Amino acid sequence: MMGMLPMLRFRQTATILLALALLASSAAFASPELARSKNCVACHHLERKMIGPAFKAIAERYAKDDAATKVLSEKIVKGGGGNWGPTPMPPQSTVSPEDAETLVKWIMSQQ
C-alpha cells in the first residue's frame, strides 16, 4: 500500500494541474463557441463581411489601438453605429461585460 501512495499523489497533482491549465486557457478556446452561443455569427463572419464586418477586418482596424478592448467591449454590450456603414450594432443585452471582453480579445487575435 505504501508504494501506491506516491502514485496516487502524482495522479491527483497531475489532474489538478491539468484542470488549472484548462481553466486558464478556456477563454482562448471558448471564444469561437462563445461567439456562436451569443449569436454573433448571425451578423459577423471570420473572414467576410455579412451584416456586420468580418472579425478579421475588425482586428486589423483596431490592431494599433490600445483602447480597443475597452471600446469594442462597450460597443458589444451597449451597441453603436457609424463605424462600418449605415447598419448599427444593436446592444447585446445577453452578453456580460466579461464575455464581451473575452470576445474582443479573441477577435483581436484574428489579425
Domain boundaries, the chain: 26-108
In tens, the pLDDT along 89-103 reads 999 999 999 999 999
d(CA 79, CA 8): 52
In tens, the pLDDT along 6-18 reads 655 656 655 554 4
Residues β-bridged to residue 89: 80
Domain made up of 26-108: CATH architecture: Orthogonal Bundle (1.10)
Low-confidence ranges of the chain (pLDDT < 70): 1-30
| Contact predicate 95/77, CB 8 Å | yes
- 3-state SS, 55-108, equals HHHHHHHCCCCCCHHHHHHHHHHHCECCCCCCCCECCCCCCCHHHHHHHHHHHH
So what's the pLDDT on residue 111?
87
So what's the pLDDT on residue 60?
98
So what's the pLDDT on residue 5?
56
- A 10 A CB-CB count for 96 gives 13
